[in-house]
Amino acid sequence: MPKELLDLLRMIAKKENRRPKTNDFGRNRDPNLPHFMAYYNAFGSFENALAPLGSARLMITNEPIY
C-alpha cells in the first residue's frame, strides 16, 4: 500500500505541476483518491510521505523512487 500511495503523490505532482498538498486528497477532490489521513496512517505524517519523493522537481519527473 505505501508504494501505491507514493505513486498517487507523484501523479498529483505531475497533474498539478507542484508539490502535493493535503487539500488534494480532501473530500472535495477526486473521489477515487484516498483521504490524506491514509498518508498519516502509512507514514506517520503527510510530510513523511513526501520525503521519499525528493524535491518538487523530482516529483514531476519519471526518475525512480528509491
pLDDT for 53: 80
Amino acid present at 23:
N
Q: At residue 50, what is the residue type?
A: L
Could you read off the pLDDT of 4-57 as tens digits, one per residue? 999 999 999 888 888 899 988 876 678 888 999 999 999 999 999 999 887 655
pTM over 0.85: no
**Nine cell digits for residue 52:** 521519499
* End-to-end CA gap in the chain: 16
Is the pLDDT assigned to residue 59 strictly greater than 90?
Answer: no
Instruction: Indicate if the pLDDT at residue 60 is higher than 60.
Output: no
